[in-house]
Every structure is written in C-alpha cells, then in structure tokens.
C-alpha cells in the first residue's frame, strides 16, 4: 500500500544512492520524509539495506579480486597491513574496529577491503557491520526527519554534519560497554574517585596554578635564577642533580646516618675472576656496614631506585652490575618517619620549622581468602597506587595472607612509592626547632630544604632527641604536608605558594650577599641531564 502511494522508483534510487554516499543519502531521505515526499519507514529500510549490501559488496570485492590490487597503491595499505604489527593488533580487535568504523568517516573502505583480502569470516563480518548499520542508518534518517529544516540548512551550506553525532554515539557506546563490564566499571569508578583527591593528581596538572604564581614572583623579584642561590654550598641550590653524598658528607652532626658513596669502579682493584661474594662482603663490612642496609641513587628524586638489602647475594648482584653511583646507607628501622621542612632567612641567626609531614607506610591486613593483588585492588587507598605495588610485588601477587596477617607494601617514605602523608604541625615544639636548627647549621650555608628523619617514638620528635637524618633535600624539595588527604585543594596550594615565596626570598637575599646564580644555559643543561639520569634508574623502590 505504501509503495503504491509513494512509488517504488524513489526507494530503489535511495538504495543505490547509498553506494555513492551513505550519509548524504540518509539525510536526504529524512528531509524528503519530513516534507511528506517519502514514507519514513520505507526510507529507513531502503537506506539500511543499501548500506548493508554495500558493505557486503566491498568485502566480496576484497576477497574475490584482492589480487587485482597488487598493481595499485592500495595494495601497500591493505595487503602489507596484514603482515604488520598493527595488522596483528587489528585482527585481535577486528570486531570492535568493524563496529566503530561505521561512525568514523573514511575508515570503512580500507577496513572492509582488508577483511576481504585477509579472508575474515563472512558471518562475523556481516554480524558486526549489520549491528552497526542498524544503529546508524535509522538514527541518521530519523534525525533528519525530526530536524529536516535544520539538516537542510547544513546540507545546503555544504557543512559536514556528522562529527557531533559520531562523538556523542561513540561516548554512549563506550559508556555502555564500561558499565556492563565489571572490570571496566571498577576502573571508571577509580578514575572518578582519584580525580576527586588532588594528592593523586598528575604533577603536570597539580602544578599549573603554581606556574602563574611563580610568574608573579618573577615579576616581583625581577628574575627567576635567584632560586639557584638558595643554598650556596649546594650546586644550583639543590634545583636538580645534586649529590646526596656530597651534601651529607659536609655535615659533622652525629644524627646523620652512616653513608658511603659506591662508584662503579669500586672493585676495579680486584681481578674479575677473584671478585667473589666473600670478597664483596668483606669489603662492605670493612666499611662498617652490616645487613640490612639501604641502597639508593646518589642523585635521586621521589624515592626512585631505593632498595632495602637483606641478603649479601642480592647486594653483590646489584652493585657489581651497577653503572651509576649509589649510596650505601645504614638502615634505621624507625618505625616512624617524618619530613621536616626548614627555612632560615639569610642574615637571621636562627631558622624555623616551616612544616612537618608524618609518613604512614602502606600496610595490608589479610583475610585468609583474597590474594595480595585482590587486597590491593580493593583497598580504599592502595588501589590508587596499584601500578606501583603490582610492579613491586609482581612475584607474590597470588599470595594469600592469613586472617589478621600484616603485609608491608613499602618501606620508603615517599608518596609516589605508597606512603600516606599527614600534616604534623602539632609536633612543632621549641625543643624540636632548636634541634633542627642545630642540625641545619652543621651543613655549611644551608637555608632552605627538607630533612627526612627517622625516630623510634613520638616523644623523640617533639623533644628533638634520638633523631636520625636519612637525607637532606635542597631548593626543589617540597613541604610534603600539602599532600595530606584531609586538606582541601586551596589549603594545599596556600602551603605550596608560601613555600615558593620563601624560596625566592631566600635566594634573592643570598644573591645580594654575593652568592652567584647559575646561567640559563647551565639550568637547561642541568634539567636535561637530570631527566636523562632518571630514565636510567628504576622508578620502583624495592
């Protein structure tokens, strides 16, 4: 009845027009149906069938006449694609590729020909393309029918109307896949929760506002390089690339943990054939070290490459193959650790404690059922640092902890290595300030930076007694209490901004007193070399 009313030629024309331009045909059909020149239902059928048959014909051409393509340039894009690594990846996800190509203009021709040439199963091909066509063609015709006048304007102005529809539909399909798949759904929830906690933001994102504030400080002090004069006896003030051993060895304070600089040529005096485990152990013990002890890069950052050595075999294997200078440092069990940020204004007799960050090491409690990997992925905090923990404990991920059993996920006092940072302002006392000021003055011309210290009990910190210094960080060290998860974003930024304000003030004052700053060329070279150095060091502490 409908065909009698509207005629058949028009729908046959729509069917074959899809072979020339699928999308324009669908839009034209919708516009004509909105003006009652065609029936909407028949238009949808004609366009859908035409597009589906067209897809089938492309596949058949590739399968039956693929040999004819050898002489054409398209052979390079299709035949050789099959042998490439991308082709293997494409075959692994061919179903998704076929489906999404329907919504991405320009991708269908080479992909469908590729499926034909590579003899991809026809039934599977028709299933994926058919499902995509059933979503796309009726939607486009119906949208043109509802908004015929608007679509006509876009059509007449020769504007491309598909991108918005593609993006919206793509997001809808991806979202649908995500909420159906439990693993993907959990990842999506984790992403939302993580972005709600700025302590886990990527550094580049978190520091964007700081860039604007530093620009203000540059205008205020009429320069940037002042900060390289913050600590005159540390190269570039401690911006980057400074030697931890050189800093620690300049102090005479007994609170500094015993530290030795191990260089790759340390065992050069021994012939390779005579360098055995027994010899290695004797040499290390001669230096005054016993198990356990710490190994860490002489030039490090955020705890990268730190190792807790509990047996001589692993130490021997690592150090005899080591190509970078490493520190051997006595191990202090703590169990408590804090970062104490110290500032002294040049010209002032005494400094002050700017902040204290208390560090809580990651501990897991077993339930007798779940594996280590499952406990990490479900933990309300550790799941946000899952990649670090999974890499560190990759050989024990199937371990099932007994109920109540405590498992330590890390020993390094670094946020990126799994530590939780909490503000410890309540522990800043006159006694602690005097102790830290005394330790700081044991380092020549030290004005700005953070001490990482370990101690046995809380009273040691507040009374400033029995503290042991692991290391001292210079100008680029952070007042790490800003990562306290209970702090709001603005409070964290206020701490960061005040820290940088003091850095400029200290550096500027030292420069006026005669401390030389480095040049821009030296700064760029320093940052570039430091970046290359970090790439050579394992980022995961063990």
What's the pLDDT band for 58 if we cut at 50, 70, 90?
confident
The full DSSP string for 433-485 is: HHHHHHHHHTSTT--EEEEEEEESSHHHHHHT-S-EEEEEE-TT---GGGG-T
Q: Output the average pLDDT for the chain.
A: 82
CA dihedral 88, 90, 91, 92 (to 10 degrees): 90
Question: Do the Cβ atoms of 344 and 447 come closer than 8 Å?
Answer: yes
For residue 371, the 8-state DSSP code is B
Residue written as token pair 């998860």: 485
Q: Tell me the range of 111-125, 279-293, 411-425 where mean pLDDT is highest.
A: 279-293
Lowest mean pLDDT among 18-22, 176-180, 311-315, 331-335: 176-180
What pLDDT band is residue 71 in, cutting at 50, 70 and 90? very low
Cβ–Cβ under 8 Å, residues 206 and 415: no
In degrees rounded to 5, what are phi and psi of residue 114? -60, -45
Given a contact cutoff of 8 angstroms between Cβ atoms, the answer to whether 297 and 327 are in contact is: yes
pLDDT single digits (tens) 454-505: 999 999 999 999 999 999 999 999 999 999 999 999 999 999 999 999 999 9
Task: Give dist(CA 373, CA 399) in Å, integer.
Answer: 8
- Per-residue pLDDT tens digits for 137-157: 888 888 888 876 655 555 555
User: Which of 176 and 539 is assigned the larger pLDDT?
Assistant: 176
Q: Quick one: pLDDT at residue 218?
A: 95
Residue 349 confidence (pLDDT) above 90: yes
Q: What angle do CA 538, 418, 322 make, to 5 degrees?
A: 20
Per-residue pLDDT reduced to its tens digit, 156-211: 554 454 455 555 555 665 666 666 666 666 777 777 777 778 888 888 888 999 99
Per-residue pLDDT, 356: 97
Average pLDDT over residues 340-358: 95
Average pLDDT on 321-337 reads 87
Q: What is the pLDDT of residue 396?
A: 85
What three-state secondary structure class fits 469?
strand
Other C-beta atoms lying within 10 Å of the C-beta of residue 285:
12
Q: What is the DSSP string of 396-446?
A: STTPBPPTT-EEE------GGGTPEEEE-GGG--HHHHHHHHHHHHTSTT-
Length of the chain: 542
């Amino acid at each position: 009845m409908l065909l009698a009313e509207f005629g058949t030629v028009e729908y046959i024309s729509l069917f074959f027009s899809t072979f020339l331009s699928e999308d324009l045909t669908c839009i034209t059909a919708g516009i004509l149906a909105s003006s009652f020149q065609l029936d909407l239902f028949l238009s949808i059928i004609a366009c859908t069938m035409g597009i589906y048959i067209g897809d089938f014909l492309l596949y058949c051409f590739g399968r039956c006449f693929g040999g004819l393509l050898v002489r054409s340039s398209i052979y390079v894009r299709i035949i050789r694609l099959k042998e490439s690594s991308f082709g293997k990846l494409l075959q692994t996800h061919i179903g998704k590729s076929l489906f999404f190509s329907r919504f991405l203009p320009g991708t269908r021709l080479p992909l469908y020909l590729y499926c034909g040439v590579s003899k991809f199963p026809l039934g599977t091909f028709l299933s994926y393309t058919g499902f995509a066509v059933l979503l796309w063609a009726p939607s486009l015709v119906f949208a043109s029918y509802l908004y015929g006048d608007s679509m006509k304007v876009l059509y007449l102005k020769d504007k491309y109307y598909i991108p918005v529809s593609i993006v919206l539909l793509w997001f809808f399909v991806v979202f649908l896949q995500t909420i159906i798949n439990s693993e993907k759904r959990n990842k999506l929830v984790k992403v939302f929760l993580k972005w709600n906690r700025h302590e886990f933001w990527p550094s580049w994102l978190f520091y964007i506002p700081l860039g604007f504030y530093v620009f203000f400080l540059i205008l205020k002090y009429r320069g940037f390089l002042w900060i390289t004069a913050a600590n005159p006896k540390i190269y570039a003030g401690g911006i980057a690339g400074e030697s931890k051993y050189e800093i620690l060895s300049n102090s005479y304070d007994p609170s500094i943990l015993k530290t030795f600089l191990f260089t790759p040529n340390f065992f050069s005096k021994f012939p390779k054939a005579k360098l055995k485990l027994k010899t290695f152990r004797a040499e290390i013990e001669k230096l005054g070290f016993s198990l356990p002890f710490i190994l860490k890069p002489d030039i490090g950052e955020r705890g990268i490459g730190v190792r807790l050595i509990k047996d001589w075999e692993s130490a021997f294997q690592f150090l005899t193959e080591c190509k970078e200078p490493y520190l051997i440092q006595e191990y202090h069990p703590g169990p408590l650790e804090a970062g104490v940020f110290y500032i002294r204004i040049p010209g002032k007799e005494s400094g002050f404690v700017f902040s204290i960050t208390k560090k809580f090491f990651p501990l897991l409690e077993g339930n007798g059922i779940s594996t280590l990997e499952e406990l990490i992925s479900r933990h309300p905090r550790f799941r946000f640092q899952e990649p670090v923990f999974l890499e560190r404990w990759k050989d024990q991920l199937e371990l099932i902890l007994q109920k109540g059993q405590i498992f330590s996920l890390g020993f390094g006092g670094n946020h990126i290595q799994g530590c939780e940072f909490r503000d410890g302002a309540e522990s800043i006392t006159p006694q602690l300030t005097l102790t830290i000021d005394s330790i700081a003055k044991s380092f020549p011309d030290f004005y700005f930076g953070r001490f990482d210290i370990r101690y046995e009990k809380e009273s040691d910190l507040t009374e400033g007694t029995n503290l042991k210094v692991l290391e001292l960080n210079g100008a680029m060290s952070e007042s790490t209490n800003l990562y306290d998860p209970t702090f709001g974003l603005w409070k964290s930024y206020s701490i960061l901004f005040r820290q940088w304000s003091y850095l400029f003030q200290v550096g500027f004052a030292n420069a006026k007193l005669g401390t030389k700053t480095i040049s821009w060329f030296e700064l760029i070279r320093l940052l570039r070399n430091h970046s290359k150095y970090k790439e050579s060091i394992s980022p995961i502490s063990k």
